A = this chain, B = another copy of it.
Amino acid sequence: MDYIGRLTAHLPTANRLLMVKADGSVSIHADDRAYKPLNWMSPPCRIEEAPGVWRVVNKAGEELRITLEEVLHDSSHELGVDPGLRKDGVEAHLQELLAASPGVLREGYTLVRREFPTAIGPVDLFCRDAGGGSVAVEIKRRAGIDAVEQLTRYLELLNRDPLLAPVAGVLAAQSIAPQARTLAEDRDIRCVVVDYDALRGIERDELTLF
């Protein structure tokens, strides 16, 4: 196998698993590296099949050349349309829940905007505290140092705006890395660990009230 594209790669002859999907993708698996193939081509791409040689090319001109020396097994199956995967607990959902109940972050918080736009990207939640002060909230599932850096950038920018300043910072996450917490607190960013399940419970309770 040879790949010529964003990088070049060569793979000597060996027994391998080739997977060709209905979406047009091709992947070459060895008996390791979990679900990641040794090489692949993502759709949309075109497969040119000559005897013993496959040439897979995509729009950008990237190319996969596969030479087949022996076929140990070959089978094909109709899988039909997949009913789809339901995920729960990703950051987007956490943001929804906190947007609905900003008081969880601190008593008296009210939401001004979700995805508050700035020149360097949107702030997850923009709130006001009980005293009318501005609060920028960064939400992560797991907060690392990068999350603190991100929020710091937003705060620096927002605090240049005399209409908004002073803007306080809150880092809300299901878990916060110790180093991230240290860095955050050093920068006067408040850390809030949120319990996703409990938050979902609050949401349910509030819905029940109406």
Within 8 A of B (CB), among A68-90: 72-73, 75, 77-80, 82-90
On chain B, the residues within 8 Å of A37 by CB distance are: 35
The digit string for A179-206, where 1 denotes a CB below 8 A from any CB of B, is: 1001100000000000000000000000
- A12 part of interface (Cβ distance < 8 Å): yes
Known A6-B90, A145-B120, A179-B121: A79·B35 in contact at CB below 8 Å: no
Measured in the bound complex, the distance between the Cα atoms of B27 and A42 in whole Å is: 18
What sequence of 0s and 1s flags, for each residue 5-41 of chain A, a beta carbon within 8 Å of any chain B beta carbon?
Answer: 0111111111111010111010101111111111110
- Tell me if A146 is interfacial: C-beta within 8 Å of chain B: yes
Query: Is A166 an interface residue, CB under 8 A from the partner?
Result: no
Q: Which residue of B is nearest A25, CB measured?
A: B34
A106: Cβ under 8 A from any B Cβ? no
* A contact residues, total (Cβ < 8 Å): 59
Q: Is the interface of A mostly helix, strand, loop or mixed?
A: loop
Q: Which residues of B contact A19 (CB under 8 A)?
A: 17, 19, 29, 35
Q: Could you list 13 further interchain pairs (A-B, Cβ under 8 angstroms) beyond the known A13-B83, A21-B32, A23-B34?
A: A6-B89, A9-B86, A10-B85, A12-B84, A14-B79, A21-B29, A23-B33, A31-B79, A32-B82, A34-B43, A39-B85, A119-B182, A146-B146
This chain: copies in complex: 2
The residues of B that contact A113 with a CB separation of less than 8 Å are none
Q: Are A73 and B77 closer than 8 Å at their CB atoms? A: yes
Shortest distance from the beta carbon of A36 to any chain B beta carbon, whole Å = 7
Bitwise, A130-161 to B at CB < 8 A (1) or not (0) is 00000000000100011001000100000000
Is B11 a contact partner of A22 (Cβ separation < 8 A)?
Answer: no
Report the nearest B residue to A180, measured CB to CB: B120
Which residues on the B side are within 8 Å of A141 (C-beta)?
6
With contacts A7-B87, A37-B35 taken as known, whether A82 is within 8 angstroms of B120 at the C-beta atoms is no
